[in-house]
Structure 1
Amino acid sequence: MKSSLVRRGGLLAAVVASVVLAGAAPASAAPGDGSAYGVNVDVKLLGADAVKVGPLAAANTAGPTTSTLASATVPGILTAGVITTEAKRDDNSGAVTAKATTADVGVPLLKAALGNVGVKTVEAVCTATQEGVKGSSTLADAKLGSIGAVDANPAPNTQIKVGLAGINIATIILNEQIKNKDGSLTVNAIHVKLLGGVVGSLGSGDVIVSSATCGPAAPPMPLASGAGLWIGLGLLGAIAVPVGTRIYRRRATQA
């Protein structure tokens, strides 16, 4: 009888323990993701071959988490100085941070329409926490040719139309923020979108400078926590105490 009670108590305790351990399963199997890059060019200019360059200096939470490139030149389209990127995840909180910084940016692609276009520093940043995902862009000493200077911290999705001979040939999007279907946020500090299919257009495609993508945050779950932990421990205690008492009483009777 004694061994039977011990086995029954052990079996029930194991069942309850498995319930407590089941609480360790995270809400999502995938951890928080983050990525960043400095430059990505994908354009097809009229009378020229398609040009695809990048993403340059790419970083990812899966590694490499940081990246640096001394300079980048895409003839006739874009020039850039030092590019630095990072994408990191805090395993304790699940928070994700991604940042891309590109220095000394020039856009000769738009010279015919705007004149000299240059930005001293172009930075995109995003962060994801349990409170949500947010992002921002900073453009230091940005001068867009005939358009003039622009705010260092433009509002999300600021659009500037670029015309040539009275025809809209491109759109410049500053601090572009895209909410993706998976809950993540992509921040493109500068996005030049060529508008093809119109008379007088330069071609079609996209030029992106400094991009960061974050989230959603997904922290690791503890073995068990909150009410689930205390309920599980309470059930273990409720089983262990009566079984132990019955075994003790039987021993006392036999003595």
Structure 2
Amino acid sequence: MRVRMTRRAAVAGLVAVAALVVGAAPASAAPGDASAYGVKLDLSLLGSDAVSAGPFAAADANGPTSNTFVGVDLPDILRTGVINASASRNDDTGGVHSRASTADVRLDLLQSITGGVSAELVEAECDATQTGVTGKSKLVGLDLGRLGTVDTEPAPNTTVDVDLLGVDIAKIVFNEQIRNADGSLTVNAIHITLLGGVLGSIGTGDLVVSSATCGPAGLPIPMASGEGLWIGLGLLALFGIPVAAVALRRRHDLRAV
């Protein structure tokens, strides 16, 4: 009976160690994802055909990890210079990073109301590490015309209402940060929404300039090599070897009797 119980203890100890090692293996949880793009729009303007375009210069951590587009030219809506986007994953740390930048942005969509919106550079950035997911936006040389001013690095979800004769017909969100259900974060440097169905409306739809999504971070330690391997071997030595040694010693004592 003692031999059987000791064997069970040894097996249980080794199984517990194996569970710890296997439970921390990369296969149990894929690393986080990341993506980015420069411009995307879906608009229905009064008196014009619907316009859907983008995402331009889309990048993804699964490939392509970087992308460039020479510029968007949509008369009376939007013109831009060069767009760059990138997304990457660090399999050693589990962290992911994404970034989108759009140069020489000119938003003519609301020009008759705002006097024009322009910026030298519009950037969105997102990082996911083991400590959390963070994002930010940068708006260099931003000119909002009659809408006032916004900081170069605005606070998350800074909103400016666009009105005509006291009625809101659109809203612009700068450094929009959306916490998604899967734990990821989407950062839109500029997001314009047209509010249809109101007096003076010019249409409906959305236009986004520079968007980055990332996270949550993936597993930080690959158990097959490096630090993870040494942790696994250390656990094995700490729990598995002493239990196995006790089992062998008891078997030897019983045979001697």
Q: TM-score, normalised by structure 2?
A: 0.84
Pick closer, same or farther for the CA change 1:174–1:14 going to 2, 3 Å: closer
Note closer, same or farther for the CA distance 1:115–1:16 as it changes in structure 2 (3 Å cut).
closer
> Is the Cα–Cα contact under 8 Å of residues 20 and 229 in structure 1 kept in the other structure?
no
- Please state whether the residue corresponding to 2:113 is helix, strand or coil: helix
Deviation at 1:162, TM superposition (A): 1.0
My pick for the range that moved more, 240-249 or 43-52, is 240-249
**RMSD over equivalenced CA pairs, Å:** 3.0
Matches within 5 A, 1:1-255: 12=11, 15=15, 18-25=18-25, 29-223=29-223, 230-242=234-246
Distance across 2 between alignment mates of 1:168 and 1:244: 81
Q: Structure 1 residues 23 and 62, CA, compared in 2 at 3 Å: closer, same or farther?
A: same
User: 1-side partners of 2:67 and 2:37: how far apart?
Assistant: 8
Residue type matched to 1:236 in 2?
A: G
Q: Which amino acid in 1 is paired with 2:36?
A: A
Q: Which moved more, 1:193-202 or 1:144-153?
A: 144-153
Instruction: Give the whole-Å Cα distance in 1 for the aligned partners of 2:196 and 2:230.
Output: 57
Q: Secondary structure at the match of 1:212?
A: strand
Amino acid at match of 1:216: P
- Cα distance change of structure 1 residues 93 and 137 upon mapping to structure 2, 3 Å threshold: same
Could you tell me whether the CA contact under 8 Å between 1:184 and 1:214 is conserved in 2? yes
Quickly say closer, same or farther: Cα 1:120–1:166, change in 2 above 3 A: same
Distance (whole Å) between structure 2 residues aligned to residue 231 and residue 40 of structure 1: 50
Structure 1 gaps of 5+ residues are: 1-7
Tell me the CA shift for residue 75 of structure 1. Answer: 2.3
Q: Write out per-residue CA displacement over residues 40-86 of structure 1, whole angstroms, 9 at most, x where no aligned residue.
A: 01110012221100111001111111111111112221111000011
Greater CA radius of gyration, 1 or 2? 1
CA distance in 2, matches of 1:73, 1:114: 20
3-state SS in 2 of match to 1:136: strand
Query: How many aligned positions are there?
Result: 246
How far 1:27 moved relative to its partner?
A: 9.2
Equivalent AA in structure 2 for residue 61 of structure 1: A
CA 1:16–1:205 in structure 2 vs 1: closer, same or farther (change >3 Å)? Answer: closer
* Aligned partner of residue 245 in structure 2, secondary structure: helix
Residue 145 of structure 1 aligns with an amino acid whose one-letter code is: G
TM-score by length of 1: 0.84
Q: Shift in Å at residue 243 of structure 1? A: 5.7
Change (3 A) 1:220 1:132: closer
* Cross-structure match for 1:4: none
Aligned equivalents of 1:168 and 1:50: distance in 2? 21
Q: Distance in 1 between matches of 2:14 and 2:30?
A: 29
User: What's the % identity of the aligned pairs?
Assistant: 50
Give, in whole Å, the separation in 2 of the partners of 1:231 and 1:167: 67
Distance in 1, Cα, partners of 2:14 & 2:165 = 79
SS at match of 1:142: coil
Go from structure 1 to structure 2 and tell me whether the alpha carbon gap of 1:153 and 1:16 turns closer, same or farther (over 3 Å shift). closer
Question: Partner letter of residue 52 of structure 1?
Answer: S
